[in-house]
Homo-oligomer: A and B are copies of this chain.
């Protein structure tokens, strides 16, 4: 009688396990897809702001009795520390994404163990790094657009319109990238909890 019960329990467990494996595989493929998207978005954000450059000739009046002098001015990401941080953070996030993608595909047969834990924690760090980079770039971009009369910082986006628009695009793309990393962690947390 007890042996039978044990067998029945075992059968149920096996079925449960088979169902679990199917779900696990689905979660893994979804994870791989989101990771690829995150990688590409971070890479795109780094490239958009990294290559963003605008040169203009601006007339500057030094002495009111003389005609204005034409000065060539250029906008580049590395003129502002926040933009440099943004490009570096997105480059790091996309490189990290590529390494994890290769590791995940290479280890697809093995059990999710310490590596899976490490990946969740590193994903979390990427979310924090990308979010801070987005915050920094958005804050400086906003100042460029609006200026600030309290600290007497004039807006510069009326001069560098194209540069500023590409900053907005880069921040938007990077924001989607950091959201993808958030989704990856949510997926991992939910899939682990489901097994209980």
Contacts and interface: CB of A to CB of B under 8 A. Distances in A.
Interface in A104-126: 116-117, 120-121, 124-125
Chain A interface bracket (under 10, 10 to 19, 20 to 34, 35 or more): 35 or more
B6 A79 contact: no
A182 B82 contact: no
A150 interface: yes
Interface of chain A, helix or strand or loop or mixed? Answer: helix
A10 to B, nearest CB: 11
A133 to B, nearest CB: 6
A173 to B, nearest CB: 15
Contacts of A190: 117
Contact of A193 (B79, B81, B151, B192): B192
Contacts of A144: 151
A80 B124 contact: no
Contacts of A193: 116-117, 192
A179 B195 CA distance: 29
A185 interface: yes
A70 to B, nearest CB: 17
A127 interface: yes
Contacts of A151: 79-80, 144, 153, 156
Contact of A139 (B125, B135, B152, B153): B135
A92 interface: no
A94 to B, nearest CB: 18
| A-B residue pairs, 9 tightest by C-beta | A135-B135, A132-B135, A136-B139, A131-B131, A135-B136, A79-B150, A82-B139, A153-B153, A131-B132
Interface of A: 2-3, 6, 75, 79-82, 85, 116-117, 120-121, 124-125, 127-129, 131-140, 142-144, 146, 148, 150-154, 156, 178, 182, 185-186, 188-190, 192-193, 195-196
